Amino acid sequence: MAYRSKVALVYLFGFALDLLNMFAASIAYPDIARELHASVTQLAWISNAYMLGLTLIIPLSVWLAARLGERRLILGSLLLFGIASGLVAQAGSIESLIGWRLLQGLGGGLLLPVGQALAYRQFPVAQRAHLTGVVLLVALMVPALSPAAGGLIVEALSWRWIFYLNLPLALLAFALGLLWLKADQPSTERPTLDLRGLLLAVSALSLLLVAVSLASASATRHLAGGVLLLGALTLWLYLRDGWHKPDAVLDLQLIKSPSLRLAMLIYLFVPGIFTGTNMIAVLYLHQLGVGAAQTGALMLAWAAASGVAIMLGKRSFNRIGPKPLLIAGMLLQCLGIVLLMRIEQPAAAPLIIAYALMGLGGSLCSVTAQTLAFVGMTPEKMGHSSALWNINRQLGFCLGAALLSSLLGALGGHSFQYCFLAAALLTLLPMIAVLRFDASKVLALLSTPPLQEKST
């Protein structure tokens, strides 16, 4: 097996572990609530704490990778993830469980950007669309299969075994990394830590994620605006402080790259908005009398269409470039949301078509955006770009859900059509940026032979 395939497999294994923990764990919430006497708010923080740890550690990942080496950091993150999983499984109270979930998120947050950077660095520009397609297929399959697997584990054993079973999987990923990943090359450079930038970045991300959590609950929604404003102010201070720093914790100058900037914008407004749309759609369909099983089955139509889009995107990117794929993806998702908005009776066919259109459009944008983000990145900048990408990805999912749930709460529980209309318009918001994007440089990079690329 080629070395780059081994690196990609280690990364994909870790990525699958992360997704498994996000989606399988939610099935155990009723049992956790009963055994640990947890409230609904505390149950929400089982997920929130994991997401918080996952996001907050990302700014530090680039410095740690440069200081310790990528192989050591990947192996260390897998060990941390496995140990934290065991501690979550043994938690005797909801408070300790939430704390160990935060630690588990820290392990995942180190693995994802560093593993992604190492994997993408191994592939020539023209082959990165294929790698992105495989990554997104994993991102599609694990959320689709893990809730069912989690349900079987909870019924056959207990909720604790969802987390205990992470241990052998994490150890297997650790063993593969130990055997397959090349030893880190000794570096004479000892990068300094931008402590002020790190504190500002972590504070800004913490405040934004807490604001999202507050906005999702009606009882605390009135506090979300103030926390969000404070988070935005802290983010502005961080950007002002780190924009021209040569040793910044994150290389913000990379945002000047038109490809990365457009890709991040697309992820915020297409996959991010779908997250919120799907959340309010569940409530809307319940109001129409659609059962939970039928609503869940609609995601099968979404998943099937997403699989088609991922295959289409990875095969077409090198041939026609990103613009036609992004335009088509935004229009298809917008059309799916508009169709959902116009459904007033629980008819199966229109709902299936709406979800299929959203899956086709959203995933076409996802595979194109993730490929575009890294298409022109040099190997030495891959770590910083991967960290920026993963922060943007996490924020996109959180902010999309918070925005539409807050809008629904502000307009009243029966204003679903207005929320769907807002979601459809937001999906099209990046269209001007896409139309103005010059794809000729991307197509030129894609036509560069791999041998010539390595020598430049």
pLDDT by residue, tens only, the chain of 456 residues: 899 999 999 999 999 998 888 777 777 888 888 899 988 778 878 888 888 898 889 999 999 998 899 999 999 999 999 999 999 999 999 999 999 999 999 998 899 999 999 999 999 988 888 999 999 999 888 887 777 788 888 888 889 999 999 999 999 999 999 999 999 887 667 778 889 999 999 999 889 888 877 876 677 778 888 998 999 999 999 999 988 888 888 999 999 999 999 999 999 999 999 988 988 888 888 888 887 678 778 888 898 999 999 999 988 999 999 999 999 999 999 999 999 999 888 778 899 999 999 999 999 999 999 999 998 888 889 999 999 999 999 888 888 888 888 888 778 767 899 999 999 999 999 999 999 999 998 998 887 665 444 433
Q: Do domains 1-125+147-180 and 253-447 have the same CATH topology?
A: yes
Q: Mention the CATH class of domain 1-125+147-180.
A: mainly alpha
Structure tokens at 421: 């209309």
From the list 222, 197, 434, the residue with the least C-alpha distance to 324 is 434
Residue 453 confidence (pLDDT) = 42
Q: Is 386 exposed, middle or buried (0-12, 13-18, 19+ CB in 10 A)?
A: buried
Q: Among 1.20.1250.20, 3.50.50.60, 2.60.120.510, 3.40.50.20, what is the CATH number of 253-447?
A: 1.20.1250.20
Q: Using alpha carbons only, what angle is made at residue 310 by residues 307 and 312, rounded to the nearest 5 degrees?
A: 110
Nearest by Cα to 14 from 101, 116, 97: 116
Residue 25 confidence (pLDDT): 77
pLDDT of residue 246: 81
The span from the CA of 391 to the CA of 351, in Å, is 32
Q: What letter does residue 428 receive in the DSSP assignment?
A: T
Sign of the alpha-carbon torsion through 14, 15, 21, 24: negative
User: Domain extents for the chain?
Assistant: 1-125+147-180, 195-248, 253-447
Q: Which distant-in-sequence residues (6+ apart) come within 8 Å of 175 by Cβ?
A: none
Scored b (16 or more CB within 10 A) or e, 269-284 reads: bbbbbbbbbbbbbeeb
Predicted confidence at residue 449, as pLDDT, reads 62
> Positive or negative CA dihedral for 171, 176, 177, 178?
positive
Spell out the residues 6+ positions from residue 178 whose beta carbon is closer than 8 angstroms to its own.
75
> Tell me, what's the pLDDT at 142?
85
Per-residue confidence (pLDDT) for residue 279, from 0 to 100: 83
